[in-house]
Amino acid sequence: MSSFIEIILIVLLMHEASECLKKINSRRREWVRPLYLSRDIDGLFVTSFDEMYKNDPEQFKTTVRMTKEVFDLLFGLVKERLIKYSYRPSISAEMRLFLTLNFLAHGGTQHLYATAYKMGRFTVNKIILETCKALWSELGSVYLSVPKRHEWKRISHDFNTIWNFGNCVGAIDGKHITLKCPSNSGSLFYSYKGTYSIVLLACCDANYTFTFIDIGAYGSQSDGGVLCNSGFGQRLFHDQLDLPEDDFLPDSNIKFPHYFVGDAAFPLKKNLMRPYPGLHLPPDRENFNKRLSRARRVIENAFGIMTARWRILLSSLQMQPSSAESIVKATVLLHNFLKLNDGSYCPPEYVDRYEGDNVLNGLWRQEISTPLRGTGRLMSNNATRSAFMLRDQLKSYVAAHPIN
């Protein structure tokens, strides 16, 4: 009797197992849409990559914003982080990088890329975010590290040589990165412009290369909070940036701090110079404001170049704030990487240049109307008497040293 019961139980278990296998096989058939089964035959990567790489370098560069030689260099640096090991056929590391660069360069919906590359939208989203994080992990410490003291000195020399502004070590600005309304966030990300955003605070050198970024402040954050609560602001105001000691302004006996330049959104501090406020200013203050604007324009151009090349930043990012941060960090990093490794990324005519007092707009302004939306005031302007005196001293120096 017991043997009979055991046989019945075995039969029942086998039937149960058979039903489970049927369900599993049914689900497996749904893992990949029929449209995507031919990805390795007629997907965009398979049909276009080799052809562009070998026979159409101009189109290749347009697609990923870099030459095939620079692409190979970048791929070699991040390849190990992009390789996936699985029992199922995995998407190649080269396709992952190509897809991500294509998305960052041109923007658009991830659904569009899913259809073109013949993979699920969730897969596309995962690949893009993983690749952006891999770029930051592998290259961030090399291409976007905070300068050391001797590097600040080099930047100061470049600002004096190129922009005739002595002891300046960087131009700083803040921009809004718009995104969709984050779930359960209330009004935290709701900015005064009526959109949801996070704030990108950035500093660059005299050659449009970013030297420091801070991203993630709420779009709704008060004017006084963005700079003060940022990593950059904390280090600047607590003398933790390893700036060089006070030094003589070029061709003078005036000892002066090393400083950053910003627009009227920034406060006046010992190491942060801003223009004189007002419209009808005396000639010496007007002249100072023009000279400061000349040096500060590099950060506006840096944002402009980056946004024109990586057009994902032109649209509202349809993702959570943490994902948007990864996207922005990757674009900043790629900007610096290409500035240093690809001379065609930013040719001379692509940026603003001067003929006397006249500004000739760079070509990036013809490609996009505005790089990124600016912020309001980034900190309350409670300047000290010594800061006012320093600005007046720099104003007198500028007046005595006109541009040749």
Task: Going from the first residue of the chain to its last (404 residues), give the mean pLDDT of each consecutive group of 10, the final group possibly shorter.
Answer: 57 58 50 64 86 95 96 97 83 96 94 89 94 96 93 97 96 87 50 70 96 70 64 88 95 96 91 93 96 96 96 89 93 97 94 87 88 67 86 96 84
CB neighbours of residue 7 within 10 Å: 10
The set of residues, in sequence order, having a beta carbon less than 8 Å from that of 337 and lying 6+ positions away, is: 74, 139, 143
Which residue type sits at 317? Answer: L
For 219, counting Cβ atoms within 10 Å of its Cβ (0-12 exposed, 13-18 middle, 19+ buried), the class is buried
| 3-state SS, residue 145 | coil
- Looking only at the bridges linking them, the beta strands covering 168-179 and 373-374 are antiparallel
| 3-state SS, residue 146 | coil
The pLDDT value given to residue 9: 55
- The Cα–Cα gap between 323 and 334 comes to 17
> What is the chain's length?
404
Task: Output the pTM of the full model.
Answer: 0.87
Could you write out the DSSP letters of every residue in 204-253?
E-TTS-EEEEEEEEETT--TTTHHHHSHHHHHHHTT-S-PPPPEEPTTSS
CA 351 to chain centroid, in Å, comes to: 18
CA 367 to chain centroid, in Å, comes to: 18
Tokens of 387: 């800061």
- The Cα–Cα gap between 22 and 20 comes to 5
The pLDDT value given to residue 6: 59
Q: Are 299 and 169 in contact (CB under 8 A)?
A: no
The pLDDT value given to residue 222: 43
